[in-house]
Amino acid sequence: MIMPGKVFSEQIADMIKSGCRKTIILLSPDYLESEWCSYEARMALHESPDCKKHNLIPIVFRSCQVPRFLEHIYYLDYPRYHSNRDSCQKFFWARLFRAVNHDPTKNGR
């Protein structure tokens, strides 16, 4: 939780280092314009520079250019507008659950 009165950037770094098993970022044009969002993504990437921890999961939520510093990481595309949207969304959520090491069958979903 972000606490009032403390340095925002330090809190983000601390949460990513100690409190986050995974960091999911939703890429969009608005996200890419935010310096804080870029900072969060870079911090999560810094925690796993060789991607062995796989702790950063980028999702392209709205069409945008994937930042150069994320080009080497496989990202998920959120199926917002697709002719077969229901099927694509099921596939998307299954892949996301797998990426965060969560088995959706254990919860009956």
Count the domains in the chain.
Answer: 1
Task: Look at residue 92 in the predicted model and tell me its pLDDT.
Answer: 92
Q: pTM of the prediction?
A: 0.74
- Regions of the chain with pLDDT less than 50: 50, 103-104, 108-109
Residue 85 lies in a domain: yes
Query: So what's the pLDDT on residue 104?
Result: 46
Within-domain flag for 36: yes
What pLDDT is stored for residue 108 in this prediction?
Answer: 47
DSSP the chain: -PPTTS-HHHHHHHIIIII-S-EEEEE-HHHHH-HHHHHHHHHHHHTSTTSSS--EEEEE-S--PPPGGGTTS--EEP-SS-TTHHHHHHHHHHHHHHHTT--GGGGT-
Task: Say what the pLDDT of residue 48 is.
Answer: 61
Residue 76 in domain: yes
- 2 within domain boundaries: no
Q: What is the CATH number of the domain that holds 100?
A: 3.40.50.10140
Residue 101 lies in a domain: yes
